[in-house]
Amino acid sequence: MSLVIDSNVEYLQTALHISAVKFQEEYANMSVEEIIEAEAAAGNQLAIELAQELTSNVNLVMELFDLADTNNKFMILSEMTALQLRQFLPQMEEKDLLQGLYFFTDDKLMKMLEELPPEQLVNTVFEMFSQEEIVQLMPDEQLDKFLTSSDIDKNKILKHIQSIPEEYVAQVLEQITGEAVESMNSIDLSKQFGELNPLEYKDALKAFQPTQKQQLVLSLAKEHNEWFQLFDAHAYTTIINREKQKPEVIKAMSVIEPEHIQKMIEELPNDLLSIVITQIDTEKFAEILMNEFPEVMADIIMK
């Protein structure tokens, strides 16, 4: 590993009480470690103490290697493996992780959204669309999938069918059975709907006009928000990709649980992942560096 970062030479000179002339004449081409060793060998007690502190004093490391400078953070990170880089992510602020999502293409963002647990995807969608908008934007086959799902109790559907205007329910029943309905009472129509055989029942639900299907789906889903998870993930991402811009999507993704965002960010190539991590709090960065990667710290000090 070969690291070249901007250490704070001025800080080192001041901390060890080295004159500017001596520093220029004797230490101009030396590494941090070499300067400290030379001063310690010469009996400089400050240098002896400093050498000990470099493995334990976070503030000293931050100051000496000017880690507040994102360029210095990046130079360190750029030498690390993907596995090492990932160890920084749990310590990062959510807003900084979300910024990393801008590195992905729209298509990749949609793919990662599709791979989320359904609840996480639906929560994200709720940040961008109202329930009414979701149902209106869903393609007809998704409404059919919802209404014919085995996850929804048939009695609940029959109850909500009573809220659809009687003439539409009667029209569907006549279309499916080929017989005229005898009663236009909503309860009677719902009962007759429930008496259809399983295949006719599913066909009847699919036979409603889009407006009636949307009304039925919305009334059911409002009663049970978890049923919004019955729509295909790809149907959601198709709507998102068509209706929303990347900044709106990423803002909505703030409701996703942090571990899922971290998993997404881990898919970035190392150079981009390193850029994201440079936004981490400097003190946390130094602590992780010292506690988890002492070999990297040793390499920095020797350069």
Count Cα atoms within 13 angstroms, Cβ side, for 99.
15
| pLDDT tens, the chain, 303 aa long | 334 445 566 777 777 788 877 878 777 777 666 777 787 788 888 777 776 676 677 888 888 778 889 998 998 999 899 999 999 999 999 999 999 999 999 999 999 999 999 999 999 999 999 999 999 999 999 999 999 999 999 999 999 999 999 999 999 999 999 988 888 898 999 999 999 999 999 999 999 999 999 999 999 999 899 999 999 999 999 999 999 999 999 999 999 999 999 999 999 999 999 999 999 999 999 999 888 887 777 666 555
pTM passes above 0.85 = no
- Cβ–Cβ < 8 Å for 207, 172: yes
CB within 8 Å of 211: residues ≥ 6 apart: none
pLDDT the model gives residue 57: 78
Closest to 231 in 3D by CA, of 146, 111, 153: 146
Rounded to an integer, what distance in angstroms lies between the CA atom of residue 288 and that of residue 171?
A: 68
DSSP state of 228: G
The identity of residue 107, as a single letter, is: D
**Rounded CA separation 69/67 (Å):** 5
b/e string for 128-148 if b means 16 or more Cβ within 10 A? bbeeeebbebbeeebbbbbbe
- Identify the pLDDT of residue 59: 85
For position 298, what pLDDT does the model report?
63
d(CA 56, CA 289): 11
Q: Give pLDDT, residue 247.
A: 97
Find the radius of gyration of the CA atoms of the chain.
32
Residue 27 contacts residue 38 (beta carbons within 8 Å): yes
- Please classify residue 116 by burial: count the beta carbons closer than 10 Å to its beta carbon, then call 0-12 exposed, 13-18 middle and 19+ buried: buried
Cβ within 8 Å of residue 152, ≥6 positions away: 146, 220, 227, 230
Cα 281 from Cα 297, distance rounded (Å): 18
Q: Are 297 and 7 in contact (CB under 8 A)?
A: no
pLDDT reported for residue 300: 62
Let me know: does 106 contact 242? Beta carbons within 8 Å.
no
AA letter at 80: M
pLDDT at 26: 79
